Amino acid sequence: MDLTAQLASLWNWTPALILVMARVGALFFTAPLIGGPFVPTRVKSLLTLAIGVLLLPGLTPVLPANLPLDGRFLLMLAQELATGATIGFACTCIFEGVRAGGELINRYAGFTAAENFDPESGIGEGPIGDLLLTGMVLTFLAADGHLHLIATVSASFIAVPVGAWSMSPQLLQVAAVGTDQCVALACMISFPVLAIILMTTVAEAVLTKAVPQINIMFMSFAVKILLSMLVLYAGMPAMVAFMGASINAIHRLVGSAIVAM
């Protein structure tokens, strides 16, 4: 067994491993769950290295070997980082839509006083937004979405070869569609609670006009909080099913982004 020849062969595949790790690492640093600042950088780096090493043997037919470490390699490295970040952005859009829907409920249901600092987003968030985001994360893990995400990254090397990323008009359209789905998801997931709050506000206005002696503002916040919690409790099964459908939207958006690249 020629150890020198084996080490030379491993060294020849080192640039290809770096490119694989660049795409996987960009995904891990931008995707939900593990892309937030609360996950240590060391953990992300070790996951990137481990998954890159596991993916490399199966990707050798589509990866270039003996790449020179020159300006072309740096350009390909930047393209791989952009590819992983694009896939991570497509995943994040749906999660941020669920979070934004919870924040709409927080704002109009009277949970503003219960906001706390969220180290992941860097802003203050209320309990409903955290609850819905946690439910989305658990649904994503229960559906093995994290495994499908890793499989998608592996398959992306065939659909988008190394160095093939480009800022095409189709990719910009996918980004616009992802943003649109984020806003639409936030509106749909918060609509039942916001509708009840709107009807409650109209009823309070009519009652205040009819009987001015009643201090409606004294009980308004408590009534809105109680009604919003009842609606959330009654609609939780449907909301979980809606989150499951949102995972399918993640797969479609990621697939569209890969095709556009």
Query: For residue 17, what pLDDT band results from cuts at 50, 70 and 90?
Result: confident
35: containing domain: 3-110+126-260
pTM for this entry: 0.74
247 domain-assigned? yes
204 domain-assigned? yes
253 domain-assigned? yes
Tally Cβ neighbours within 10 Å of residue 41: 9
116 domain-assigned? no
CA distance 29 to 44: 7
Region 201-221: mean pLDDT is 74
118 domain-assigned? no
**Which of 59-63, 110-114, 140-144, 220-224 bottoms out in mean pLDDT, i.e. has the lowest?**
110-114
119 domain-assigned? no
Residue 7 has pLDDT above 60, yes or no: no
Residue 162 has pLDDT above 80, yes or no: no
Q: What mean pLDDT, rounded, does the chain reach?
A: 77
44 domain-assigned? yes
166 domain-assigned? yes
CA distance 75 to 67: 12
Residue 60 has pLDDT above 70, yes or no: yes
Region 78-91: mean pLDDT is 84
Domain count within the chain: 1
